[in-house]
Structure 1
Amino acid sequence: MLRMIVACDRNGAIGADGDMPWRQSTDLQHFKHITSGGIIVMGRKTWDSLPGVLPNRRHIVLSRGELEGVEVMNVEQILKLENAFIIGGGEIYKLFLDKVEIIHRTIIDTRVAKADTYFPDISGMGFELIEEKYTEAGPRDDHDMIFQTWKQTGTDNTKIKK
């Protein structure tokens, strides 16, 4: 099964100047819990932004060329993976949005003024909200957050607008 995991602000912003525009320890723990033991799939820029290899996960980068220290695959190979999570960035989310069954989305309770990368709008894509949990900011979080799980229902599944 192919899934997606993302943290975005209330406007869908996921990045500013090549980085996440917030510090959310609680969301990072959520990411770790969900993806641990699985495969994480990302673009080269997301790979470059990681502090290193994340423990207990297989790392795959979608890229046309070879990269040092990480496995590289193309779209067709990625679609055959089991227990894989698309983790970004923006263009990779757009590329796989109509191919995932589950989206784990954290909405960070803020609006980033200088955002330059956004998660696509999923309305009209056939996803249904199946779980939602509000969580107050902990001592190592910048903002409150909402954890959501969306499931592809197969209805109204249209291609994403570019």
Structure 2
Amino acid sequence: MVSLIVAHADQNVIGFKGDMPWSLPADLKRLKKLTTGNTIVMGRKTFETLGRPLPNRKNVVLTSNKDFSAQGAEVIHSIDEIKNLPGKVFIFGGSTLYEQTMHLIDEMYITVIDKTFAGDTFFPDYRISEWTVESEEDGPEDEKNRYPHKFLHLTREL
């Protein structure tokens, strides 16, 4: 099973100038809970933005650069290699990897942030009608989580 995890704001914005344009600790807590003990696959730019592998999960970097190495992460060079990764696999970003792997995705964990942010990186368009909504939950709004948001778990319609 190949899963995808993402947080996006209005207009499917996921990034601006190499970073997330928001701070939403509830989303990061959910991401940690879902991906710990599993495999996350990210593009080279995403890995370089993080600056290090995320702990307690297998980090895999997909890049066409045959000379790239990433301390603490496995490097692969083909989308086909994703299918051979063991256990639960989460596509972790960025934009190009999301676009290239949407056809492989069995389920999506999406945090939808109900706010408009400036952005230069976007999640691909998707039709929620093509997915089964397994769960939908409003995220907390407080002094640390200042934007209205909801957590979705979607599975692909068969």
User: Could you say whether these structures have the same fold, taking a TM-score greater than 0.5 normalized by the shorter chain as the test?
Assistant: yes
Matching residue within 63, 75, 89 for 1:72: 75
Q: Which residue of 1 aligns with 2:111?
A: 106
Contact 1:22 1:142 in 2 (8 A): no
1:146 aligns with 2:150: yes
Task: Give ranges in structure 2 of 5+ residues lacking alignment.
Answer: none
Greater helix share, structure number: 2
Provide, for residues 18-47 of structure 1, a one-character-per-residue CA deviation record: whole Å limited to 9, x for no partner.
Answer: 111100111000000010100000001110
Contact 1:42 1:86 in 2 (8 A): yes
Identity of matched residues, %: 32
From the superposition, tell whether residues 130 and 83 of structure 1 become closer, same or farther in structure 2 (CA, over 3 Å): same
Q: Which residue of 2 aligns with 1:92?
A: 97
1:133 aligns with 2:137: yes
CA distance in 1, matches of 2:140, 2:128: 29
Q: Which residue of 2 aligns with 1:4?
A: 4
Contact 2:40 2:92 in 1 (8 A): yes
Q: Compute the displacement of 1:145 (Å).
A: 1.1
Q: Compute the displacement of 1:144 (Å).
A: 2.1
Q: Which residue of 1 aligns with 2:35?
A: 35
- Please identify runs of 4+ aligned residues in structure 1 that moved more than 3 A: none
Amino acid at match of 1:32: K
For normalisation by structure 2, the TM-score amounts to 0.90
Query: For residues 49-68 of structure 1, what are the structure 2 equivalents within 5 Å?
Result: 49-64=49-64, 65=66, 66-68=68-70
Task: Give ranges in structure 1 of 5+ residues lacking alignment.
Answer: 155-162
Q: Compute the displacement of 1:140 (Å).
A: 1.9
For normalisation by structure 1, the TM-score amounts to 0.88
Q: Quote the RMSD (CA, aligned, Å).
A: 1.5
Q: Which residue of 1 aligns with 2:47?
A: 47
Amino acid at match of 1:27: D
CA distance in 2, matches of 1:125, 1:60: 31
